[in-house]
Structure 1
Amino acid sequence: MQHGTTLIATIALAFAVALLFGVLAARLRLPPIVGYLLAGIAIGVASPSLAAEGGVAAQASEMGVVLLMFGVGLHFSLRDLMAVRAIVVPGALLQIAITGTAGTMLGRWWGLSVGGAIVLGLSVAVASTVVVLKGLEARDRLDSPEGRVAVGWLVVEDLSMVLVLVLLPAVAVPLGGTPVDGQALTAGGLARSIALAIGNVIAFLLLMFVAGRRVVPWLLAHVARLGSRELFTLTVLAIALGVGTIASQLFGMSFALGAFVAGAVVSESELSHRAAADALPLQDAFAVLFFVSVGLLFDPHVLVDHLGKVLAVLGVVMLMKFVASFAVLRLLGESGRLAVTIAGSLAQIGEFSFILMALGASLGLLDRDTHALVVGAALLSITVNQPLQGWLQRMLARYAPGIPESFTEADAFDFSAITDHVILVGYGRVGTTVTEALDRAGVSHIVVEEQPRVVAGIRLRGEHAISGDATRADVLRRAGVTGARLIVVTAPEPIRARRIVEVARELNPRIAVAVRTHSASEQAFFEQVLPSPGVHGRAVYAEREVALSLAHYTLTVVGRSDDEADALIDAMRGRRTMPTETFSAMRTREFRAAMGISPGQSETGGGPDG
Structure 2
Amino acid sequence: MHHATPLISTIVGGIVLAFILGAIANKFRLPPLIGYLCAGIVVGPHTPGYTADQTLAPELAELGVILLMFGVGLHFSVKDLMAVKRIAIPGAIVQISIATALSMLVAWGFDWSWGQGLVYGLALSVASTVVLLRALQERDLIESPQGRIAVGWLIVEDLAMVLTLVLLPAMARLLGGGDANATAPTTMEVLIEVLSTLGKVAAFVAVMLVIGRRFIPWMLERIVWTGSRELFRLGVLATALGVAFGAYALFGVSFALGAFFAGMVLAESEFSHRAAEESLPLRDAFSVLFFVSVGMLFDPMVLVNDPWGVLATLLIIVVGKSLAALGIVRAFGLNNRTGLTIAVSLAQIGEFSFILASLGVYLDILPERGQALILAGALLSIVLNPVLFHLLDRYTAREDKQGDPQPA
- Answer yes or no: is 1:145 the counterpart of 2:145: no
The 5-angstrom pairing of residues 96-115 of structure 1 reads 96-115=96-115
Contact 2:165 2:356 in 1 (8 A): no
Provide, for residues 133-187 of structure 1, a one-character-per-residue CA deviation record: whole Å limited to 9, x for no partner. Answer: 44445555556524641442233232342244134313034xxx55489454221
Partner of 2:345: 345
Secondary structure at 2:268 match in 1 = coil
Tell me how far 1:94 sits from its aligned partner: 1.6
Query: Larger deviation: 320-329 or 297-306?
Result: 320-329
Contact 1:161 1:352 in 2 (8 A): no
CA separation of 1:261/1:398 partners in 2, compared to 1, >3 Å: closer, same or farther? farther
CA separation of 1:155/1:111 partners in 2, compared to 1, >3 Å: closer, same or farther? closer
Partner of 2:25: 25
Q: Structure 2 counterpart of 1:379, which letter?
A: L
Tell me how far 1:225 sits from its aligned partner: 0.8
1:46 alignment partner, one of 36, 45, 48: 48
Partner of 1:237: 237
Secondary structure at 1:171 match in 2 = coil
CA separation of 1:334/1:183 partners in 2, compared to 1, >3 Å: closer, same or farther? farther
Contact 2:167 2:194 in 1 (8 A): no
Tell me how far 1:12 sits from its aligned partner: 0.7
The 5-angstrom pairing of residues 404-443 of structure 1 reads none
For residues 147 and 105 of structure 1, the distance between their equivalents in structure 2, rounded to whole angstroms, comes to 27
Partner of 1:172: 175
Partner of 2:208: 208
For residues 73 and 367 of structure 2, the distance between their equivalents in structure 1, rounded to whole angstroms, comes to 36
Contact 1:179 1:363 in 2 (8 A): no
CA separation of 1:245/1:298 partners in 2, compared to 1, >3 Å: closer, same or farther? same
Stretches of structure 1 that go unaligned for 5 or more consecutive residues are: 403-471, 479-610
Partner of 2:194: 194
Contact 1:155 1:257 in 2 (8 A): no
Tell me how far 1:302 sits from its aligned partner: 1.0
Secondary structure at 1:170 match in 2 = coil
Tell me how far 1:222 sits from its aligned partner: 0.8
Tell me how far 1:310 sits from its aligned partner: 0.7
Structure in which a larger fraction of residues adopt helix: 2
TM-score by length of structure 2 reads 0.85
Partner of 1:13: 13
Structure in which a larger fraction of residues adopt strand: 1
Contact 1:68 1:130 in 2 (8 A): no
Contact 1:37 1:383 in 2 (8 A): no
Partner of 2:392: 392
Query: Larger deviation: 95-104 or 33-42?
Result: 33-42
CA separation of 1:297/1:179 partners in 2, compared to 1, >3 Å: closer, same or farther? closer
- Answer yes or no: is 1:154 the counterpart of 2:144: no
TM-score by length of structure 1 reads 0.59
What CA RMSD, in Å, does the superposition of the two structures yield over aligned residues?
Answer: 3.3
For residues 166 and 230 of structure 1, the distance between their equivalents in structure 2, rounded to whole angstroms, comes to 38
Provide, for residues 12-57 of structure 1, a one-character-per-residue CA deviation record: whole Å limited to 9, x for no partner. Answer: 111111222223233334332332233222223234743xx54533
Q: Structure 1 counterpart of 2:162, which letter?
A: L
CA separation of 1:21/1:88 partners in 2, compared to 1, >3 Å: closer, same or farther? same
CA separation of 1:376/1:16 partners in 2, compared to 1, >3 Å: closer, same or farther? same
Provide, for residues 507-543 of structure 1, a one-character-per-residue CA deviation record: whole Å limited to 9, x for no partner. Answer: xxxxxxxxxxxxxxxxxxxxxxxxxxxxxxxxxxxxx
CA separation of 1:172/1:271 partners in 2, compared to 1, >3 Å: closer, same or farther? closer
Tell me how far 1:332 sits from its aligned partner: 4.2
Q: Structure 1 counterpart of 2:293, which letter?
A: S
- Answer yes or no: is 1:324 the counterpart of 2:324: yes
Provide, for residues 334-370 of structure 1, a one-character-per-residue CA deviation record: whole Å limited to 9, x for no partner. Answer: 5544443333232223344344444444555444333
CA separation of 1:401/1:182 partners in 2, compared to 1, >3 Å: closer, same or farther? farther
For residues 340 and 201 of structure 1, the distance between their equivalents in structure 2, rounded to whole angstroms, comes to 37
Contact 1:116 1:365 in 2 (8 A): yes
Tell me how far 1:104 sits from its aligned partner: 0.6
CA separation of 1:297/1:357 partners in 2, compared to 1, >3 Å: closer, same or farther? same
CA separation of 1:162/1:37 partners in 2, compared to 1, >3 Å: closer, same or farther? closer
Tell me how far 1:236 sits from its aligned partner: 0.6
How many residue pairs get aligned? The number is 402
Contact 1:84 1:152 in 2 (8 A): no
Contact 2:127 2:154 in 1 (8 A): no
- Answer yes or no: is 1:127 the counterpart of 2:127: yes
Partner of 1:286: 286
The 5-angstrom pairing of residues 246-325 of structure 1 reads 246-251=246-251, 253-325=253-325
Q: Structure 1 counterpart of 2:161, which letter?
A: D
For residues 138 and 288 of structure 2, the distance between their equivalents in structure 1, rounded to whole angstroms, comes to 14
CA separation of 1:326/1:235 partners in 2, compared to 1, >3 Å: closer, same or farther? same
If you compute each CA radius of gyration, which structure gives the higher value, 1 or 2?
Answer: 1
Secondary structure at 1:153 match in 2 = helix
Tell me how far 1:374 sits from its aligned partner: 2.4
For residues 138 and 258 of structure 2, the distance between their equivalents in structure 1, rounded to whole angstroms, comes to 24
CA separation of 1:125/1:266 partners in 2, compared to 1, >3 Å: closer, same or farther? same
Partner of 2:35: 35
Contact 2:104 2:118 in 1 (8 A): yes
Q: Structure 1 counterpart of 2:99, which letter?
A: T
CA separation of 1:163/1:83 partners in 2, compared to 1, >3 Å: closer, same or farther? farther
